């Protein structure tokens, strides 16, 4: 469907975001690691409560809601798949970052979720985690690595992914129920996206 140019009303109680899909088809030069005390731990068969808590702490400010709304059986089927790898970035004995790699489609990997908690913003932990994501993804026989981000995400996300070697290839508009109205997210989450009821 081709949309005409113009402005379109988003109904009250909904949120709209522009989603940008990015990809790379070969391993780029990986930048030098920033200095920092981080480690990466693969979490085999993650406990759902642990996963949701880390997902919330990393993504709540950016309205990551897909997994928060997902039932236990569906979530377990994804994160317990042998072709999905879940990693925690550890800092000072606490999980402060999430990396999820999905190899379920042959020949490619999707970075499904990637981020660090606000505690680590500006520390270099995001760059360090992306370097690990690139190494882990391309250690498999893939021809494509991809991810998506949106305008609710950190304002520097697209530029960060472009600097990491990705290129944008698709844009979408996504409209869904505002999670702060139905209680999926706290009312004060994502202050950069006003609630309209």
Average pLDDT over residues 124-132: 97
Structure tokens at 39: 């480690």
Average pLDDT over residues 105-120: 97
Average pLDDT over residues 82-108: 98
Q: What is the pLDDT of residue 2?
A: 75
Q: Could you tell me how many residues make up the chain?
A: 197
Q: How many whole angstroms separate alpha carbon 82 and alpha carbon 54?
A: 20
Q: What is the pLDDT of residue 4?
A: 86
High-pLDDT (> 70) share of the chain, %:
99
Q: Are strands 94-102 and 38-42 parallel, antiparallel or unpaired?
A: unpaired
Q: Is the predicted pLDDT of residue 1 greater than 90, yes or no?
A: no
Average pLDDT over residues 54-70: 94
Q: What is the pLDDT of residue 3?
A: 75
Q: Which alpha helices (DSSP H) does the chain contain, by range? A: 48-59, 72-79, 125-138, 157-163
Residues 106-126 as b or e (16 or more Cβ within 10 Å = b): eebbbbbbbbbbeebeebebb
**Spatial CA neighbour of 153 closest among 126, 182, 184:** 126
Within 13 Å and on the Cβ side, how many CA atoms surround 50?
Answer: 14
Radius of gyration of the chain (CA): 17
Average pLDDT over residues 132-148: 98
Q: What is the pLDDT of residue 8?
A: 87
Average pLDDT over residues 158-163: 97
Q: Is the predicted pLDDT of residue 138 greater than 80, yes or no?
A: yes
The domains of the chain, with CATH numbers, are 14-27+38-177 (3.40.630.30)
Within 13 Å and on the Cβ side, how many CA atoms surround 92?
Answer: 4
pLDDT digit string (tens) for 11-58? 999 999 999 999 999 999 999 999 989 999 999 999 999 999 999 999
pLDDT digit string (tens) for 179-188? 999 999 999 9
């Amino acid at each position: 469907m081709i949309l005409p140019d113009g402005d379109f009303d988003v109904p009250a109680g909904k949120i709209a975001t522009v989603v940008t899909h990015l990809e790379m088809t070969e391993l780029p030069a990986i930048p030098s690691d920033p200095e920092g005390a981080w480690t990466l731990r693969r979490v085999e068969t993650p406990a759902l409560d642990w996963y949701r808590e880390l997902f919330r702490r990393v993504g709540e400010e950016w309205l990551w809601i897909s997994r928060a709304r997902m039932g236990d059986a569906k979530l377990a089927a994804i994160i317990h798949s042998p072709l999905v790898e879940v990693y925690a970035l550890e800092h000072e004995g606490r999980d402060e970052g999430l990396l999820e790699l999905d190899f379920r489609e042959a020949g490619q990997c999707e970075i499904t979720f990637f981020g660090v908690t606000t505690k680590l913003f500006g520390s270099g932990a995001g760059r360090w985690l992306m370097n690990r994501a690139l190494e882990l993804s391309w250690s498999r026989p893939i021809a494509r690595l991809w991810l998506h981000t949106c305008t609710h995400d950190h304002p520097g996300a697209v530029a960060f992914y472009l600097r990491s070697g990705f290129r944008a290839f698709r844009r979408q508009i996504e409209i869904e129920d505002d999670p702060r109205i139905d209680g999926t997210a706290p009312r004060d989450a994502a202050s950069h996206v006003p609630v309209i009821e």
